[in-house]
Amino acid sequence: MTTAVVFVHGLFLNGAEFTLLRRRLAAAHGYGAHRFSYPTVRGSMAATLEQLRRFVDDIDAERVHFVGHSLGGVVLCRYFERERCERTGRVVLLGSPLMQSRSARAVARHPWLRRVVGPLVAEELVDCCTPRSWSCGHELGIIAGTRPVGLGRFFAKFAEASDGTVAVSETRLPGHKAHLTVPVSHMGMLASSAVAAQVGEFLANGEFSKPG
């Protein structure tokens, strides 16, 4: 069976930051990698989801896994609320603010910064919107970081474990199958060999391995 993985990036990024993770998953599991890139500060969620639908439809593989980082995880949640993907395997989200985002709301208090982060972030993480949950049949694994090194800490105060941008509690989506915390920062998780191993484990078997 041919298996592909679609990678969906976060705010201000283009997917190149997945390079190391993509290579590790390809080496360990032989997955074909597909980088979905979208305009994070100019587009709407509706336009992004339609672009993602067309992107996935064009992938020539019998099974398709998904990995989303940060805002990319929010995009994937909305995607699976809307789409029935018969070929979909499993989904792993990394450091995604799925329940709320104290960082985004703190940034949005400054009008000029609200314009910088764009309408998609405002739509999903600042303004009131339909609550997210995971109700589709595909297994969802979530990894949260606990090393507080990130730009978010300059705007929001976290009274709990966080990766510096997203608090651990903000990553816990109702309906997920497995949740794991790893001592990495928001961006550091993309370069972590431990995180790569856990992503590969979940995509292959539907479970995270026990740390250590």
Report pLDDT digits (tens) over 70-80: 999 999 999 99
Contact 164, 195 (CB under 8 A): no
Residues 6+ apart with CB under 8 A from 44: 119, 120, 123
Q: What is the CA radius of gyration of the chain?
A: 16
* Whole-number pLDDT of residue 165: 92
Q: pLDDT (tens digit, 9 = 90+) per residue, 86-126?
A: 778 999 999 999 998 887 777 767 675 666 667 778 888 87
- The pLDDT, as a whole number, for residue 143 is 98
Measured between alpha carbons, how far is 189 from 183 in angstroms, rounded to an integer? 9
Beta carbons within 8 Å of 89's beta carbon, 6+ residues apart: 3, 63, 64, 65, 138, 203
Global pTM value: 0.93
Domain boundaries defined on the chain: 3-205
Q: What is the pLDDT of residue 88?
A: 81
| Domain spanning 3-205, CATH architecture | 3-Layer(aba) Sandwich (3.40)
pLDDT tens-digit series, residues 149-196: 866 565 677 889 999 999 999 999 999 999 999 999 999 999 999 999
Looking at every residue in the chain, the average pLDDT score rounds to 90
Q: What is the DSSP letter of 105?
A: H
Comparing CA positions, the residue from 32, 93, 86, 42 lying closest to residue 67 is 93
